[in-house]
Amino acid sequence: MKLCIDHADTQQIRRIWEQYPVDGVSTNPSILAKSGRAPYDVLGEIREIIGPQGELFVQALSRDAEGVLAEARRILKETGDTTLIKVPAVPEGFRAMKMLRAEGIRFIGTAVYTPMQGFLAAKCGAEYVAPYVNRIDNLGYDGVQVSKDIHDAITRSGLDSGLLAASFRNTQQVLELVKYGVKAVTVAPDVIDAFVRNAEVERAVGQFTDDFEGLCGAGKTMLDC
C-alpha cells in the first residue's frame, strides 16, 4: 500500500518525506492555492524533494476534455512524465480520461463521492480513483464504506486500478482502509503525525533514557559505555 502526503507546503513535505516511508505527494487546486506560491514553482520543488520515482499528483482545471489533455501535456513537461494527472470524475472528465489513456498519460479519477463514479474512472483506465472519505462522511454517508465498495467493484471486475483514498480527518478513517488493503491513501501531514503521536510511548522512551543515564551518566548512550 502506498502512502502519499496530501499537501503543498514544501517544508512540511520535506520533513514528512525524510521521517516516514512515504511514496509521493498529491495536490489539488485548493491545496496549491493555500501555498500562495506560483503552482509550477511549488510543484518543481516537490518533484525535487521526492525525486523522479516519487508519485506526484497534479489536477487539471479545464472543464472540456481537449483542455484537460493540453493541461496534462504542460504539467508533464513542467514536472516530469511520471506525474499523474488528476481528472474529476464528471461526464466530460470521463471523455478526457479516455483521451489521456489513448496518449499513454497516467491519470487518476478524482472528486469521487459515489461507487459508480469510481468504477467508471477505473474502467476508463485510471491508475487510481480517489474517494473523498471525510467529505462523504460530512454528507451523511459512510466514506470508508463507499471506499470499500469501490475497492471491491474494481477488484472483482479485474480492472487494473485501485484506490488513492483521500480527504481524511483522523487516523481511524485511514486505518480502516489500510486494514482493507486499498492500493494507496493520501493524508495531510497533521494526520500522518497523529499516526504515532502518543504520550504513553513518549513516556516509555523517556524512562529508558532516565534509567540508562542513572547507570552510565547524563547524556550517555551505547557509544559511551
Where along the sequence are the contacts to ligand E4P (CB under 6 A)?
Answer: 6, 26, 28, 110, 130, 132, 134-135, 166-167, 186
Q: How far apart are CA 58 and CA 120, in angstroms?
A: 20
Selected catalytic residue, list 2, 34, 77, 86: 86
Read off the amino acid at residue 173: Q
Task: Pick the closer one to ligand E4P by CB: 138 or 209.
Answer: 138
Contact in structure between 29 and 210 (CB atoms under 8 Å): no
Q: Find the shortest distance in angstroms from Cβ 70 to ligand E4P.
A: 21
Strand 128-131 relative to strand 107-112: parallel, antiparallel, unpaired?
A: parallel
- Give me the least distance between CB of 209 and ligand E4P, in Å please: 37
What angle (nearest 5°) sits at the alpha carbon of residue 165, between those of residues 164 and 166?
Answer: 110
CA quadruple 206, 207, 209, 214: dihedral positive or negative?
A: positive
Which residue's CB is nearer to ligand E4P, number 26 or number 161? 26
Amino acid at 78: E
CB closer to ligand E4P, 83 vs 186: 186
The cell for 90 is 464528471
Number of H helices, E strands in the chain: 11, 8
Q: Are 223 and 41 in contact (CB under 8 A)?
A: no
Indicate the helix (H) or strand (E) that contains 15.
helix 10-19
Annotated active-site residue 220? The verdict is no
State in angstroms the smallest separation of the CB of 6 from ligand E4P.
Answer: 5
| Distance of closest approach, residue 184 Cβ to ligand E4P, in angstroms | 11
Nearer to ligand E4P, 61 or 225 (CB): 61
Q: Which three cell numbers stand for residue 187?
A: 493524508
In the bound state with ligand E4P, the residue whose beta carbon lies nearer, of 33 and 102, is 33
Residues with catalytic function: 86
